[in-house]
Amino acid sequence: MIKDIAFTAYPSDNVKSTREWYEKMLGLKFSGAFEENGVEMYNEANVGPSCFALMTSQWVQRKPGSGVGVAFEVDDIEKTAKSLRDAGVTVEDIYTTPVCKVTSFDDPEGNKVTLHQSTR
């Protein structure tokens, strides 16, 4: 049966520019592009034991903006949200639960990205 998550892939019409945005805004380090005819079709970043990937919308067969499932764990959600806001990203208000804090924003393709900080 299921033993791990191999990767989470978000659709993009321009993987290169979307990857550059994730590198600049969230500090992700991508491992290297898979290209066809000089076009970046796929790239992935290791995040803890998992992998976050950007994939062309034609490969993942989803429209950009349809990704909604990734939640990145952060050490300081207020600091991260402020840094994104200072860079011009519209970040939702931080919501506090008994066990965590969460907020969300859209990447340049309209995919929803969530930030999570455990408070346990």
- Residue 29 pLDDT level (bands cut at 50, 70, 90): very high
Q: What's the predicted TM-score (pTM) here? A: 0.88
Contacts of 78 (CB under 8 A, 6+ apart): 94
Q: Is residue 88 part of a domain?
A: yes
pLDDT higher than 90, residue 54: yes
Residue numbers of the domain that contains 16: 8-118
% of the chain with per-residue pLDDT over 70: 99
Handedness of CA 89, 104, 45, 74 (dihedral sign): positive
Q: Is residue 21 part of a domain?
A: yes
pLDDT digits (tens, 9 = 90+) for 63-103: 998 988 899 999 999 999 999 999 999 999 999 999 999 99
CATH number at residue 45: 3.10.180.10
Distance CA 62, CA 86 (A): 30
- As given in the structure block, the two tokens for residue 88 are 């011009």
In the chain, the number of structural domains is 1
- As given in the structure block, the two tokens for residue 76 are 């300081």
Q: Is residue 98 part of a domain?
A: yes
Q: Is residue 61 part of a domain?
A: yes
Q: Is residue 2 part of a domain?
A: no
Pairing between β-strand 71-73 and β-strand 112-118 as defined by DSSP bridges: parallel
